[in-house]
Structures are given as structure tokens and as C-alpha cells.
Structure 1
Amino acid sequence: MSNSKLSLSAGIASVAVALTLVLLKFLALSVTGSLSVAASLADSAVDLMMSLIAALAIVYAARPADQDHPFGHNSAEDLAALTQALVITASALFIGWSAITRLRAPEPVSLGDEMIGTLVMLASILLTFLLVIWQSYVAKKTGNRVVAADRLHYIGDLLPSVGAIIALQASQRFGFSGLDSWIALLAALIMLKGALGIGKSAWDALMDREADPEVVSGIAEMTRGWPGVIGFHDLKTRTSGSRIFVHLHIELDGDQSLRQAHDIGASLRQAILSRWPEADVIIHKDVAAKDGRPGT
């Protein structure tokens, strides 16, 4: 199976699992009235949206550059991520406010059929775990960053599900229904923190923020020691979705042939791509100063 088909299979599996979890948790919420289950349901609903967008992003981002989009279509991932961050924030605020309201109520709110809720949450944990195993395999096999990011998100979702089970069992065995609101509040804070991280990354990419400093310094170090390169300057990077765009000027001996200069630039570009396959690299060749002064 090709890498693109493997990645798409992970996207389809993610959508199918997310839809199943939404239906199961909606059933659990309807019979228990648990806020921690509601928090987990909201998280799964967001997962469903994110999984749909991730699957579409895998297909859309794979499209080659065209006349209207000479740098490709990767920014669609960032626009989708920014939208996801806003939806997650709204869900977290709603769950948090509901938890605080219930905690301040004069009488504790009793939960419904905790056993059904517990069984549903156990099933959701099992489905999520199986999905994470498949996504881990696909991400390792293909190197697809969208699948890897989706995998990390589902790993983080295991905590609210486990918390919901603890809250349901505490209510059933000890009559401590207040724990449900506290776990829901914790889940809301985790969702809010995740939304801020996703939103910041998407915003940075849309604003053409420089690539990770380790990537920039790695490219600079590689260029500085490359055979035939006297110096370099104007190393510029930006990110778009899972892509890194690199523009670099290298300074070469002006007395060598055009073919020699081309071979130096081509070999350096290939080395950069080998280390960072998600990069799009453009290298400009300049004549070094006569005194051999290196570039910056």
C-alpha cells in the first residue's frame, strides 16, 4: 500500500472512531447527566470535526502546486487548525462554566445510571487505544505529520475518558457526585490549553513565522561546511501546514564552470531534503567576493 493510501486509511479510521465515540458518549450523557461525560462528549465532537478536516487536509495538501497556488495548498491545514482552536475554546468555556455552576449549586446533582456510563466510557477508551496503535504505525511508516498530530490529540483524549469513569464510580460507590464537576473542570482547562497551543501554531504559520530554530540552525550548519560553499547569506524560512519553505543564497567561486556551481547547489539541496523531507528548498548561487570573505 502506498504512503498516500496508508495516510488516507488512518484519516478514515479516525473519522469512523470519532463518529462512533460521539454516538456512544451521547447515549452515556443521556442516561447519566454526568458533566465529565459531557466534557468527554464535547471533546469527541471536536475530534470528529478535526478528524474530518485532517482527512480532507491529507487529500488536499497532497495536490501539487498549480498556477493559482505556486507554493502548494498547505495553508489549508493552518486555516483549519485555527478554526478548530476556536471551536475547542468555546467548548471548554461552556463545560467549565457548567461545572462551576453545578459546584455552586446549593444541592449536589445526582447522576443517573453510572454502570451504563462506565461501560460506554470503557468502550470509548478501547476504540481510542486501537486507533492510536494504527495511527502510530502509519505515522512511522509514512512520516505524515497530519496523522502524527491527530495521534497525539487522541492520546490526550484518553485522560477525560478515564476521568469520567472515576467520577461515575465515585458517584455510584460513595455518593460523591461533586467529583464529576471537578473532573469536568480539569478537562475544560486541558482543552483550553490545547486550543491555545493549536491556535498559536496555526497563527504563526499563517503569518509566515520562521521555522523551528533547530531547523534553521541545522540548515546553516550544513551549508557552512558544505564542499565548494565559501559563504552564505539571506537564509529565510517559513512554515505552511506541514511544509517548511527555505530560501538560501550561497556564495561560490566565480571562476568555476556553471555545471560545477549547479552541482554544488543541487547536492546541498538534496542533503537538506534528505534531513527535512517536508521542506521546499530554493537555493540561489552568488559569486563570492574576491578576497574570499565568507557570507553571514
Structure 2
Amino acid sequence: MTGACVRSYAHNGPVDVRASTSAHRKGSHVSDRHEQWGHSHEVRRHEHGHGHGHGHPGSRHPLRHRISHLLTPHSHETADKIDAALESSARGMRALWVSLAVLGATALAQGVVVVASGSVALLGDTVHNTADALTAVPLGIAFVLGRRAATRRFTYGYGRAEDLAGIAIVLTIAASAAFAGWAAVERLLAPRPVAHLPAVAAAALIGFAGNEWVARHRIRVGRSIGSAALIADGLHARTDGFTSLAVLLGAGGSTLGWEQADPVVGLAITAAIVLVLRDAAREVFRRVLDAVDPVLVDRAEQALAAVPGVRAVGELRLRWIGHRLRAEVAVVVDGEATVRQAHAVAVDAEHALLHAVPRLTAALVHADPEPAPGEPDPHRRLAHHAPA
């Protein structure tokens, strides 16, 4: 089979990415079950206070865990917001929109008190809650677009709409941080007393209660449908409630006669928003540039190397399209294998990838013949197309 090229096209039809052979559909279902198992494992980690990226023993030191989690920026990356269980569940999507309504109502109630009191600390918490609520809008739009079938113009589908949603989320967070910081600095330069301190304290408690309700609702629904993403979002809402309690501290300081307590707390809230912004911007920037976790590449290479008939693993590429991964890989097979035999190896290689890499839904496998002594490189005729 010298010079032969064999490709495995699971879910890779030129127009409809959902079209595939029955064998490939079976492989996809196996992959979905593997992905759901992976997320269920992540759910258990979150339930025990060991969620991805946190690593704090919440079961033994819940207060320390919450404080540490509060100081750790949490991701607004869209791929972390939607997982298999959430995507396939109407309850899960409904929980996101209910959370939007509750956080929006909370921010509206706080906004009324901001106008009456002039508290910049409460203003910072209000814009933070508003930004968190509004992030559900571009994410929801991207989710709806991402479910549309591929076309002859958008041959990979509309999954990259989630990258645009990520950019919109980053811009929203940046605007909220700039506004909150500007208001706090202005108040520091021109201090004035905060009016209606009891109302400010009540609004702070409303902010905490709203975030806590959203947290409990997301976690409860997330556990019910097995969505680690929704549970993680609930934990983030819970830690956001501590930002609202910081406003309560500012109100207490103002009550004791420290005029700068309110803008100082406002600056602290701004700093918290900036930390979230940094984390979100980094994730979105990486996603736009098709970055993936190197661990996934290692897992893919190891899985391919273990496939019978694969003599070596060549070029391997992974990329995100929405919240799903696609792979392109070249594997070396026996140079004397028939086309059918090489294709079987390619299918086995794809099957191994679907099991090994979470969220992988398609792989394009190119089979290269193992070179024989003195045989010219079959790809030599492509050399003049290589970038300079």
C-alpha cells in the first residue's frame, strides 16, 4: 500500500456534520457516555470541595475553602459553562435563565438603593451582579446557534459562536470593572457621607441572599441532571455572595464615622472583578487561538500509540469548536497493508481517541505507510506548498 492515504471521517460530512455511518454513530455514543462519566466524576469532586481548579478541602475547612475560593478568579469560559448533561437537559437551561432573572432582580433592587444612598461599594457589587447575570445572554445565543447544522458556507457548523460569546463576556466584565473603579476613585478624591446606611446594609444582604439562592438552585439542579458545569457555576455564585457581604462591612465602617470605608470597599470589589476579568480574558484569548490543554494532547498520543497496527504517531492537532473538540492526526501503519486494513487501523485509532479525550466528537485520521528502505518520501511532491 505504498503511498496510500486512508482517512476516517467520523461525523465529518462536508455539509451535515451529524451524518455518519452506524459504526461511527456508535463510537460517538460511546464517547458521549465517556464524557458524561468524566463530568459525573467532576461532579463528585465539586460536591466534596475538590472541584477543578480549586483544590481546597472544603469538607474539612468549609470557611477556609470559601474564602480561598473567593480570592481565586473563576472562569467565564463558555466551554466550562456547558457540558453534556446541561446541553441535553431543558431543566439545566431553564436553571440558567431562572438564575439570570433572580440575579437581574437582585441587581435592580440594589440599583435603587445605590441611587438613593450614593454608596460606591454597593455600586460595585451591583454592576458585578449585573455583569454576572448578563453573561447568560450571549452564552444562550451562542448555544442556540451552536445547535444549528453545518452548511456549505459554515462547514464546521456554528460552534465558534461561543468564542464570540466569550469576547462579549470579557467586554462586559471589563466595562463593569472600569465603571466600579472610576466611581470608587472619584469618591476617594472627593469623600462624602453615604446616606441611608440601613438601606445599604439591607441591599448588601439582598445581594448575598440572591447569590445564595442562585447557588443553591444551580447546585440542586446540577446534581439532579449530573451537570458539573452547573454545579461549578453555583459554587461561583455562592462565593460572589461574599462580595455582597463586603458591602455590609463598608456600611458598618461608615456608621462608625470612617467616610473612606465605602470607597475602600468599592476598590476591593473592583479588584475582585479585575481578577475575574484577567482569568476570563486569558481563557478567551487561548480559545480564539485554538489553544488546548497539553494534557489532552498527551492523552491522545498515548491512546493512539496503544492501538494495534499503529507503528508511530505523526502530527496531531486538537481544536475547540464551541464546547466540543475535533482532532486531526497522522498515524504510521504497515506499508504492506491493504487499503481496507489501513482503514480499519484508522477507525480503531479514532475509536481510541473518542474514549481517551473528553468532549472529542470527531477525528480525521490519516494513515501513512511505514517507509521502506530506499523508498522516496510520498509527501515530497507537497514540499513546495509548505510555508516558507
TM-score, structure 1 as length reference: 0.85
Computed over aligned residues only, the root mean square deviation of the Cα atoms, in angstroms, reads 2.6
**Structure 1 residue 213, shift from structure 2 partner:** 0.9
**Structure 1 residue 37, shift from structure 2 partner:** 0.6
Amino acid at match of 1:187: I
- With over 3 angstroms needed to count, the CA separation of the structure-2 counterparts of 1:134 and 1:274, relative to structure 1, is farther
- Confirm whether residue 238 of structure 1 aligns to residue 315 of structure 2: no
Q: 1:122 aligns with which of 173, 191, 205?
A: 205
Q: Is the 8 A contact 1:51 1:150 kept in 2?
A: no
Partner of 1:180: 262
Partner of 1:166: 249
Q: 1:101 aligns with which of 186, 194, 206?
A: 186
Alpha-carbon distance in structure 1 between the residues aligned to 2:155 and 2:109: 44
Alpha-carbon distance in structure 2 between the residues aligned to 1:284 and 1:238: 17
What percent of counterpart residues are identical? 23
Q: Is the 8 A contact 1:39 1:160 kept in 2?
A: no
- With over 3 angstroms needed to count, the CA separation of the structure-2 counterparts of 1:182 and 1:44, relative to structure 1, is same
Amino acid at match of 1:237: L
Partner of 1:14: 99
Alpha-carbon distance in structure 2 between the residues aligned to 1:16 and 1:111: 29
Amino acid at match of 1:79: L
Deviation string 1:170-207 (CA, Å, 9 cap, x unpaired) is 223x1223121111111112212222322232233223
- With over 3 angstroms needed to count, the CA separation of the structure-2 counterparts of 1:281 and 1:50, relative to structure 1, is same
**Structure 1 residue 122, shift from structure 2 partner:** 1.8
TM-score, structure 2 as length reference: 0.66
Alpha-carbon distance in structure 2 between the residues aligned to 1:187 and 1:131: 20
**Structure 1 residue 234, shift from structure 2 partner:** 1.1
Amino acid at match of 2:217: W
**Structure 1 residue 31, shift from structure 2 partner:** 3.0
Deviation string 1:109-168 (CA, Å, 9 cap, x unpaired) is 2112222222232233222223223334555645575x5675465345223212112112
Partner of 2:16: none
Q: Is the 8 A contact 1:6 1:138 kept in 2?
A: yes
Q: Does 1 or 2 have the higher relative contact order (CA < 8 Å, sep 6+)?
A: 2
- With over 3 angstroms needed to count, the CA separation of the structure-2 counterparts of 1:136 and 1:278, relative to structure 1, is farther
Structure 2: which 5+ residue stretches go unaligned? 1-84, 374-388
Alpha-carbon distance in structure 2 between the residues aligned to 1:138 and 1:40: 26
Q: Is the 8 A contact 1:8 1:58 kept in 2?
A: no
Deviation string 1:262-284 (CA, Å, 9 cap, x unpaired) is 33333332332234342232222
Task: Tell me which protein shows more helix as a share of its residues.
Answer: 1
**Equivalences for residues 38-117 of structure 1 within 5 A:** 38-105=123-190, 108-117=191-200
Alpha-carbon distance in structure 2 between the residues aligned to 1:139 and 1:230: 43
Q: Is the 8 A contact 1:211 1:244 kept in 2?
A: no
Partner of 1:265: 346
Q: Secondary structure at the match of 2:329?
A: strand
Q: Secondary structure at the match of 1:228?
A: coil
Partner of 1:294: none
Partner of 2:237: 154
Partner of 1:131: 214
